[in-house]
Amino acid sequence: MSLRLAMRLAAPPGPGGALSILIFHRVLAAPDPLFPDEPDVRRFDALLGWLRQWFNVLPLADALVRLRAGRLPARAAAITFDDGYADNLLQAVPLLRRHGLHATFFIASGFLDGGRMWNDTLIEAVRATRLTALDAGIADLPELPLDGVEARRAALARLIPAVKHLPPPERAAVVQRVAGRCGADLPTDLMLTSTQLRTLRAAGMDVGAHTLTHPILARTDADEARREIAEGRALLENILGERVALFAYPNGKPGADYRRAHVDMVRELGFDAALSTRPGVNAAGADFFQLARFTAWDRPRWRFGLRMLDNLRQRAPVTVDA
């Protein structure tokens, strides 16, 4: 049986259909030795070709209308990006347009116009430092060797998880301390500018909200979490001059990164739907405020296809206690 036929059987048209939502973050101009699994233009181009062959790729907003109405085509899929990197416009959008495909970009709007996400501060500090070892000053984290690319990759694999779930003020302080100890010049052009965001929208892509500064909502005070969600969207709407209807939870794991209270906040603030990073596909009766997303990183083509097929067989629960 061909993969295309198997996918059609797993996701038929109509009320029995299922929507695969793919998640990306960056598309690099060239491979990054520190993050060899991050897609570059060559790999993303190939992946879009596979998606066109196996799936009916729809704009996310259109796909959600069809899902709610039970009118999805067979093998329905949508493409999303999180965070708001400049390479989304510079590298991803030209390839999407060349393949005739669409994506929705969820923007952490507080980083527009020269901002930098906390993890990128760590990455770029470790990348550029002249240190051969780093004492990050984090409990239970030993001194990290930095003598070579492999060592720096291993250091980041320990450093980023150690910082990710700290309360936002503590996380910011740790990141600032590490950057200071590394003593490196850090880039200010990683994220989109407001002008670039408008260009991305004018290219036919859609924009969703992703908070203001990408906090882990489960570790954030309730009033601050609501402010992050509401002000993150308001800034985007001010830049674009239109309503922003969709939201993606930062990091997106139910329970660990957001909870039921945050689902309720998003609904009360008037969004149409919200996306998690829980794997699986979205079928009839799906919780539109906790939609599943998944992307296979396997190579070559046949392994990518098999992984996507396996995900098609995982129907996300109608609701998730978070």
Give the domain CATH number at 51.
3.20.20.370
Q: Give the model's pLDDT for residue 166.
A: 84
Residues 93-119, mean pLDDT to the nearest whole number: 97
- Residue 268 counted as domain residue: yes
- Residues 206, 142, single domain; the answer is no
Residues 117-146, mean pLDDT to the nearest whole number: 95
pLDDT tops 80 at residue 232: yes
Catalogue the E-assigned strands of the chain: 18-24, 56-57, 76-83, 103-107, 133-134, 144-145, 206-209, 246-248, 273-275, 282-283
d(CA 29, CA 50): 20
d(CA 289, CA 254): 11
Residues 201-215, mean pLDDT to the nearest whole number: 97
d(CA 5, CA 284): 21
Q: Give the model's pLDDT for residue 241.
A: 98
Residues 6+ apart with CB under 8 A from 98: none
Lowest mean pLDDT among 38-52, 119-133, 194-208, 306-320: 306-320
DSSP state of 37: T
Q: Report pLDDT digits (tens) over 48-74.
A: 999 999 999 999 999 999 999 999 999
Residues 128-152, mean pLDDT to the nearest whole number: 94
Residue that finishes a domain, picked among 129, 164, 182: 182
Q: Report pLDDT digits (tens) over 254-270.
A: 999 999 999 999 999 99
Residue that finishes a domain, picked among 141, 160, 182: 182
pLDDT band at 319, cuts 50/70/90? low
- Residues 8, 122, single domain; the answer is no
Burial class of residue 159, CB neighbours in 10 A (0-12, 13-18, 19+): buried
Residues 305-318, mean pLDDT to the nearest whole number: 84
Cα-atom radius of gyration of the chain, to the nearest Å? Answer: 20
| Residues 37 and 59 sit within 8 Å (Cβ to Cβ) | no
Lowest mean pLDDT among 3-7, 12-16, 150-154, 271-275: 3-7
Domain range for residue 17?
3-114+188-312
Q: Give the model's pLDDT for residue 300.
A: 87
Cis peptide before 254 (omega within 30 of 0): no
Residues 6+ apart with CB under 8 A from 94: none
Supply the DSSP string of 164-196, one letter for each residue. Answer: HTS-HHHHHHHHHHHHHHHT----S-SBPPHHH
Residue that finishes a domain, picked among 182, 198, 226: 182
Residues 125-151, mean pLDDT to the nearest whole number: 94
pLDDT band at 322, cuts 50/70/90? low
Which pTM does this prediction carry? Answer: 0.95
d(CA 85, CA 162): 23
- Residue 17 counted as domain residue: yes
Residues 266-292, mean pLDDT to the nearest whole number: 96
Lowest mean pLDDT among 6-10, 13-17, 148-152, 174-178: 6-10
- Residue 319 counted as domain residue: no
- Residues 95, 211, single domain; the answer is yes
Report in angstroms the alpha-carbon separations of 254 from 120, 217, 277, 322: 24, 11, 8, 5
- Residues 177, 228, single domain; the answer is no
- Residues 158, 86, single domain; the answer is no
**Residue 196: both structure tokens together:** 């670039």
- Residue 107 counted as domain residue: yes
Residues 86-99, mean pLDDT to the nearest whole number: 98
- Residue 317 counted as domain residue: no
- Residues 210, 271, single domain; the answer is yes
pLDDT band at 318, cuts 50/70/90? low
Report in angstroms the alpha-carbon separations of 107 from 104, 110, 179, 243: 10, 9, 24, 14
- Residues 200, 278, single domain; the answer is yes
Q: Give the model's pLDDT for residue 260.
A: 96
d(CA 72, CA 14): 5
User: What is the number of domains present in the chain?
Assistant: 2
- Residues 209, 291, single domain; the answer is yes
**Residue 128: both structure tokens together:** 């550029």
- Residue 217 counted as domain residue: yes
- Residues 157, 87, single domain; the answer is no
